[in-house]
Amino acid sequence: MEALQAEFDAARDDTAIRVVVLAAAGKQFSAGHDLKEMTAHRSDSDGGRAFFEQTFARCSRLMQSIVDWPKPVIAEVDGIATAAGCQLVASCDLAIASEQARFGVNGIDVGLFCSTPAVALTRVVSRKLAMEMLLTGEMIDAETALEFGLVNRVVPREALTQAVAEYAQAIAAKSPSAVKLGKGAVRNQAAMSLADAYEHTSRVMVENMLSADAAEGIRAFLEKRQPNWREE
């Protein structure tokens, strides 16, 4: 989590990076926290409380960093994505899965209900479906995750990297400043009343219209040519 947080923090203002793909180094996407490491801290003088507080604070900060991050984040999911690993998928802007991907919030199986993963999960999956996953600890396959709205697309394993690259390239070809403005606007308006949401996003639209990239983009469209975005 520390390494991932550091990467996000470092890349935040790097204009050469326009979109991030989160993929696993190994065969599984992520199985969440390390239960052995957690359990070892029970012998701390405070029974592990300080370590647990630090762990969940760090994890929650990481998840919110992805949502708050100015650039899109795409999860490339193969293998298992469980507990905080499933939360990571739910927290990304887009998620593309292989046919072999499997998802679960199965902490309940070891007596640890996935309460923090539920924050991300219930914001993308409808309530009854999320509750079923949280209460039973069941695993769902990629097709079911697609039906539930947890992932955007399912492709054969051998096509996964290429499919993700196409999404990333499509997004990287857009105006970086417009993407940044827009992702922030979508996030900010989410919990607002309809009136507040329209007031906020109308202000964003005006700023966006006054930007050099919108001027260039609309001109290019009217002139039937490719736009040349500013670097930042």
Subset of 142-201 contacting a second copy (CB under 8 A): 149-152, 167, 170-171, 174-175, 177-179, 181-183, 185-186, 189-191, 193-195, 197-199, 201
76 binds a second copy (CB under 8 A): no
Q: Per CB under 8 A, does 95 bind a second copy?
A: yes
Three-state DSSP state, 96:
strand
CB of 232 to a second copy, least distance (A): 13
Choice from 88, 94, 101, 163 touching a second copy (CB under 8 A) = 94
Q: How far is the CB of 36 from a second copy (least distance, A)?
A: 6
Closest distance to a second copy from the beta carbon of 160 (Å) = 16
Strands 140-141 and 102-104: antiparallel
Q: How far is the CB of 175 from a second copy (least distance, A)?
A: 4
Pick from 1, 11, 31, 129 the residue near a second copy by CB under 8 A.
Answer: 129
Q: What is the largest CA-CA distance in the chain?
A: 70
Size of the site for a second copy (CB under 8 A): 95
86 belongs to the binding site for a second copy (CB under 8 A): no
Cα 7 to Cα 49, 95, 180: the distances in Å are 27, 19, 18
**Cα-Cα-Cα-Cα dihedral sign, residues 97, 124, 185, 62:** negative
H/E run at residue 199: helix 194-209
In the list 4, 7, 10, 47, the residue contacting a second copy (rule: CB under 8 A) is: 47
Tell me if 121 sits within 8 A of 105, measured CB to CB.
yes
Give the Cβ contact number of residue 30 at 10 Å. 21
Contact 97, 90 (CB under 8 A): no
